[in-house]
Amino acid sequence: MHTDVDQCLRAVQSKDARFDGWFFTAVRTTGIYCRPSCPAVPPKPRNITFHATAASAQAAGYRACKRCRPDASPGSPEWDVRGDLVARAVRLIADGIVDREGVPGLSHRLGYSRRQLERLLQAELGAGPLGLARAQRAQTARLLIETTGLPLADVAFAAGFGSVRQFNDTVREVFATTPGDLRTRATLKLPPAKGSVTVRLPFRQPLHPDNLFGHLVATGVPGVEEWRNGAYRRTLRLPHGSGTVALTPTSEHIRCTLHLQDMRDLSVAIARCRRLLDLDADPVAIDALLSEDPFLQPLVARAPGRRVPRTVDEKEMALRAVLGQQVSTAAARTLAGRLVLAHGDPIEDPAGGLTHLFPTPEQLTQVDPAGLAMPGSRKQTLLRLAAALDTLDLDPGADRHEARSQLAALKGIGPWTVETVAMRCLGDPDAFLPTDLGVLQLAKQLGLPKDLLTHAERWRPWRAYAVQHLWAVGNHPVNHIPTGDAS
């Protein structure tokens, strides 16, 4: 979008927050880059250049605005919609792949040479993999500086920097101040408990939290997920250790409190929580298209801003999709709860009732099938998928078409499971469940044509959001935030 100068100028002049994250505004006369919605007086058009990413603006020598904090804006919804190489690379970088495996690891995951990958990212985003990862490290560093009592040297390594000097230089360059000054301005009163950090997760308005949090709680696995004190809580399996998160919806943001064994996992945990809650979506564009269908228009008007509940662990969700085949939500929770209790890794949770991490596919492949209390065919499908997940790519950079094909080739995996995985794991906004019993019943109740698959073509590329609106017609717990604590 940053190449459409006229549209970008209109967004800046109207301070339209819907475009935060879509592009960044760099001002030549001040050397500062901002969000489109920055409250400062808009600069003269001749002094503005537009950038696709914060990393691009930083590479061009601009520093982040201290008023609008462009480094903390929602991500561009474009990367969730698109399935091409650049979008897959951006999703993987957000998940911390460059910090863990370097650019060669990113290139290997995507199946392209390092030179080709860097050329494509530079051409479209104005920054290569290292620049994008550096911008993310700078944002993580700022969060840790302003919201924790960690010593600044520990902040440097927790944010992913290779040295304290690199950390200091980057903070000065990006924020035009020192790490110490950032902490002084934050006026911390009491350092939070070690390993704990609370941040605000921004999103584009509107956001309808009922089905989002209602779905996560109603389908939550006992011991792994719970609803407590107005927050959805769950355990996390992260690259450097485990953790827990509490996500509380508010009208302006999602409050996210993380307890981590290793603070190096902070940026990864935040990225995964954003994916879980679909916070980078563009609800205005989605609702506008779905409202063109007279069958959906009243539903969208009643609850604008619905999101698609996703996952923080793709392999876990794929296994849970198999457990949910042809059974009720309650039955699927029971099966998953037994599996967790018997084979999951235990954790401590002084703040609540979380007890285990969901078992990994590797753990399940070692299980004696006779000990799994479920129908024989379901048992075999579960173990077959657990073995296949060693090579089946469902991570944020996965090729969605290839993943669908590989899933469909597994015995016992049908279209419902494939599309559920595409929706919840792969984050495909166009995933659709035309065989889902609830979708079929509620579509009939609304008077939709019998050939639902053909009719749904008009909902592309947002069919996953249409499913959320259809499910909301029924009176099911997935549509409501609990009024009290639930586990």
Instruction: Give the catalytic positions in this structure.
Output: 34, 436
**Residue 263 contacts residue 230 (beta carbons within 8 Å):** no
Would you tell me how many other CB atoms lie within 10 Å of the CB of residue 36? 27
Find where tokens 């939290």 sit.
209
Find where tokens 């469902």 sit.
394
244: its two tokens? 């827990």
151: its two tokens? 């010593």
State the virtual CA torsion across 20, 21, 22, 25 in degrees, nearest 10.
70
**Whole-angstrom distance, CA of residue 267 vs CA of residue 136:** 8
174: its two tokens? 């990006």
The amino acid occupying position 66 is K
How do 254-260 and 241-249 pair as beta strands? antiparallel
Tabulate helix, strand, coil % of the chain (nearest 5).
50, 10, 40
392: its two tokens? 């089946």
**Whole-angstrom distance, CA of residue 468 vs CA of residue 79:** 21
